[in-house]
Amino acid sequence: MGSMIAPVKGTRDFYPEDMFVRSWLYQKIREVSQLFGYLEFDAPFLERIDLYAAKSGEELVREQAFVFQDRGGDAITLRPELTPSLARMIAQRQKQLVFPQRWWSFGPFWRYERPQKGRTREFFQWNVDLLGADSPASDAELLAICASFFKLVGLQADQVQVRVNSRHLMDRVIAEIGIDSQKKQSVFQLIDKRDKLSMDSWHSLAIENDINETQFDLLVKALADKNLWKKSDELVSVFDMLSQMDLAEYVSFDPQVIRGLDYYTGIVFEARDISKDGRAILGGGHYGNLVSDVGGDPLPGVGFAMGDVMMRLVLEKYGCLPEFQNTTASVLVTVFDQELLPKSLQLAGQIRAGGIKCVCMTEVSKLVKQFKYADRIGVPLVIVMGPEEVAKDEVTVKDLVTRSQENVTRENLIDYLAIKLAQSSA
């Protein structure tokens, strides 16, 4: 045990029960994405570091991306996010694509960060983007996708909420308060930190950032204003459209939502556990210009990304995860003795040919052990074929759930099993 090589920090082993959850999540994601007419795509997991350096947070990329030199000496990184790759892919075909395009993706990403609750170094992310669209209706569509996803996996509006704000609105608020637009970034960061600090230390931080007392008071007042969104035409229509789609209960206004990304220009949003337990489940927003950095013509859009780590924690907390089955088989064929092993294998083959998932014992042991094994892995039906059955060209089928068993002729077996299984799954 001591000599076992430890897994890479921040990675996860997906045991069958974990893989089951991952696959289930992927399936739900696909379902919702396709329900809204989106197309699945993917980008390389490896990219040149330059692709990310072109964007705002260069330092962060250098510090928080997995970077290495390939044999040719190029700086390669495991992708820390999808958007730059998406931008390149769109830019390459910008002249031939019909816009708006609706794309989604689910895959692995890597960030060299200190792991903690809801954050690992290797994680999966669902990305959804509506490209070439610039209207409140397109913003509302992405929010509707989030809400529909929550609904589909069984999360309720009193458990998770998508909190929405508008960068335009906040720009205006800051201007009205009389804060220089050059200080916009630092004020945004300040707003972002409101929840983590006490009012006193937040006040001190504000003063440090050259906000005067009058401005501070006005800022506090603005952030406390539940009706602030009414001053934003885009938010008003976004909320109205969500009501039309009957999904408004999942979405609410929150002036404190800012998001770190510089390229967001319109609405920004994030979803989290209503009790603010843990970090954001997903985050996204409207961008005015996705592709010009990588050589395309300006193209607006709206998108979001959801990480699997936080999502799973929330699903677990609210009991939304499906129950894991320790086997995929519906039937287990026992092996009476060494002599009958070939006949058992043949029987299992026939059952599979009939389209029924079946495991045949490969180790010969006492029936007690074989039944116990069947019970442990959760197979509902067990077949015994000993000398008595062989003589009559029958098998014994035992239902482990009802504890009853019946003798069935080989000829009728597939039909019998199919009916049995249809009954128990109903």
Partner RNA sequence: GUGCCUGUAGCUCAACGGCAGAGCGCCUCACUGUGGCUGAGGAGGCUGAGGGUUCGAAACCGUCCAGGCACCCCA
Site for RNA in 137-196 (CB under 7 A): 189, 193, 196
Separation of alpha carbons 359 and 362, rounded Å: 9
The total number of residues shown for the chain amounts to 426
For residue 402, what are the CA distances in angstroms to 326, 346, 356, 397?
19, 27, 20, 12
Subset of 224-253 contacting RNA (CB under 7 A): none
- Residue 267: C-alpha distances to residues 55, 181, 201, 238, 283 (Å): 20, 18, 28, 9, 11
Distance CA(216)–CA(386), nearest Å, equals 85
CA-closest candidate to residue 151, choices 17, 246, 286: 246
- The binding track of 365-404 with respect to RNA, each residue x by CB under 7 A or -, is -xxxx-xx-xxx-----x-x-xxxx------x-x-xx-x-
- Least distance to RNA from the beta carbon of 146, Å? 15
Token reading at 47: 């990219």
**Contact code string over 24-43 relative to RNA, x by CB under 7 A:** --------------------
Q: Counting contacts by CB under 7 A, is residue 81 touching RNA? A: yes
Among 302, 344, 261, residue whose Cα is nearest residue 130: 302
CA nearest to 163, candidates 302, 245, 320, 274: 274
Footprint of RNA on 330-349 (CB under 7 A)? 336
Member of 41, 42, 53, 60 binding RNA (CB under 7 A): 60
Footprint of RNA on 282-341 (CB under 7 A)? 283, 305, 336
Out of 119, 151, 317, 343, point to the residue binding RNA (CB under 7 A). 119
Q: Which is nearer to RNA, 139 or 389 (CB)?
A: 389
At its nearest, how many Å lie between RNA and the CB of residue 195? 9
For residues 225 and 263, which CB has a smaller minimum distance to RNA in the complex?
263
Rounded Cα distance, 56 and 81, in Å: 13
- Of 117-125, 135-143, 175-183, 221-229, the segment contacting RNA by CB under 7 A is 117-125
Determine whether 137 is exposed, middle or buried from the number of CB atoms within 10 Å of its CB (0-12, 13-18, 19+). middle
Interaction site with RNA (CB under 7 A): 2, 6-7, 9, 52, 57, 60-61, 64-65, 80-81, 83, 111, 113-119, 189, 193, 196, 259-261, 278-279, 283, 305, 336, 366-369, 371-372, 374-376, 382, 384, 386-389, 396, 398, 400-401, 403, 405
